A and B are shown apart, each in its own frame.
Chain A
Amino acid sequence: MEAVKVMSLKKQYGNQVVLNDIEFSVMKGEIFGLIGVNGAGKTTTLECIEGLRKADQGSIAFSGTLGVQLQSSSLPSQIKVKEALQLFSVWNGRSFRPDSVTVFGMDGLLERKYQHLSIGQKRRLHLALALLSDPDILILDEPTAGLDIDGRIEIHQIIKNLKKQGKTVILSSHDLMEIEDLCDRVAILSNGRLVLLSESRDFADKNNRQVKVRAKFSEPISLSETEESVYDSMSDSVIIATDHLEDAMITLLEMAKQHHVRLTDFIIERDGVEQMFLDIIRKEKSS
């Protein structure tokens, strides 16, 4: 069941097209990642879903209530953490319990003013505020930006727990490890266009990703380069890119036989989400 459906979303400022025909659906209970370089349109897409910006064309439908944690949202500097939490609880028709924010590490900061919080503490507070209404759909715009490792792990755990509770999470991030770790599906945006929409967790499945086999022979060989295999003269090795490891090994053995040399060493390299992302962005730029 779809929690969010974005259809033919277009947005431009003057002549600059910020979003061009963006279309994707987010299923209920999944963690959906939006990736892209700065200015790709991630935050604008999220802001259109949240209703903070109006799309020029297209439509957005969602079922359930929204909770939002944005990069640049803010609170008045003099307000205390406890006051902010109490105020937002009232807005959401709930009573505030200090123990409810223990998970965000906020319990020791309740009397601290907003202006005296670190970036990480502000992010955790924003996330706590977004979750006060117990929303069905949570939109997180770079939730771990500026956080230390402990902070990231804590936030990741919170997001994983939200998934366990059946919440839908839409997440934008520059941190591709984070995306790989958390997301069920991803969409890659480039120059306001959707250039990849994964249909499953395949993007993070290392077994289904292309591998590179880097092999060394007892003597250098002369190789007629193809799309699959290249000779790297710097390291005196042959590199084969393949979807099937077995085929690559057979090819290498045949090469050794053909050139009367021995296969002395080989390394298997698997692409990460980062490589996939870079490949897509490079292709996009060259086209």
Chain B
Amino acid sequence: MFKEIKKEWLFASRSGRLFILIMSFLFLAVLTPIMLKVLIPEIFRMQFPNLSAEDLDLMINASQLTAVGGFLSDLFELGMIIVVFTLCSVMSQEIRDNTLVFPIVSGNKFVHIIAAKITFFGAVLSALTVLAILICYGYSGILFEFEILIQDVLMAGLMQSVYFLFVIANLLMWGAILKRTLPTGFITLVIAYLTQAVGGLFDIHAYLPSGLIDFSTKLQFEFAGIASSLAVTVGLIVVMLIITQLTMKKMEYNIR
């Protein structure tokens, strides 16, 4: 499977996908603390010139906790769009452009092709999430003060990473089924935002992948609260990967 991972690395780096992901995650990581420390107070001062510095602090409630929490929210809301539309072509475009033909006729197995994609992009997104959250943690700690436990931050990053695996599994499955890039991206986004909305509306985050996002933004590690959501997410990822493999096995390649 390392051979297939090498292919993913080569294709992703050459297509600029890696660059887009790295820049986006780093931008979000440093943006939130700066927003809280500099931009929002400045906007408030311009809007309410008579407000005292103490009142301003009370209104903004700027701290490391709000900075890291804000980053994690941004990662779900903005980062999700970037991730989905950067990676929505990972499967669908390969099928449409016939770039899977060579690997298939070279004897690469479907299970290896799929496993390589989720492993590679899962590893990239996990590394970027953890790196970005650590940057946000460190930078916001310097700007404000360190008040969150590093293990809670790392656990939040880890849960976000698992959620991104769920997103990638969606992109692979819908990409294989629809063979179209934009519909794949839109369906994945709808699923992500819908589960988040439904989870919040009916208070069932614990039974949905959205529970991982909900948990991570709280920045307090409690395994009991996350176990069911984690199990459901992992289960869904496995099911989606199996569907992807079955779809690819039935599929006809070399579109003319």
Chain A interface residues (CB < 8 Å from chain B): 43, 47, 50-54, 66, 68, 70-76, 78-79, 83, 87-88, 90-92, 129, 133
Interface residues on B, range: 20 to 34
| Set B3, B10, B106: member contacting A79, Cβ < 8 A | B10
Additional 9 contacts, C-beta under 8 A, given A47-B252, A74-B99, A91-B7:
A47-B254, A52-B105, A68-B105, A70-B101, A74-B101, A90-B3, A91-B3, A92-B106, A129-B102
CB of B106 to closest CB in A, whole Å: 5
Q: Determine the distance from Cα of A1 to Cα of B27 in the docked complex, in whole angstroms.
A: 64
B residues in contact with A54, CB < 8 Å: 250, 252
Q: Is B220 in the interface zone, CB < 8 Å from A?
A: no
Let me know if B98 is at the binding interface, CB within 8 A: yes
Which residues of A have CB within 8 Å of B105?
50-52, 66, 68, 70, 73
Which residues in A have their C-beta under 8 angstroms from that of B3? 90-91
Do A72 and B15 touch across chains, with their CB atoms under 8 A apart?
A: no
**Bound CA span A66–B99, Å:** 18
Please, which residues of chain B bring their CB within 8 A of the CB of A71?
256
A90 to B15, CA, bound (A): 21
Residues from chain A with Cβ under 8 Å of B102 in the complex = 73, 75, 88, 129
> What's the minimum C-beta distance from B161 to chain A, rounded to whole angstroms?
26
A95 to B108, CA, bound (A): 18
Render B85-115 as a binary contact track against A, CB cut-off 8 A, 1 for contact. Answer: 0000000000001110111111110000000
CA distance A53 to B251 in the complex (A): 8
Q: Which residue on chain A has the smallest CB distance to residue B97?
A: A74
Q: Tell me how far the C-beta of A198 lies from the nearest C-beta in chain B, rounded to whole angstroms.
A: 27
- The answer, yes or no, to whether B6 is at the interface (CB within 8 Å) is yes
Are B11 and A79 in contact (CB-based, < 8 A)?
yes
- 26 interchain pairs (CB within 8 A)? A47-B252, A52-B253, A52-B254, A54-B252, A71-B256, A72-B255, A73-B101, A73-B105, A73-B254, A74-B97, A74-B99, A75-B99, A76-B11, A76-B15, A78-B15, A78-B16, A79-B10, A79-B11, A79-B14, A83-B10, A90-B3, A91-B7, A91-B103, A91-B107, A91-B108, A92-B106
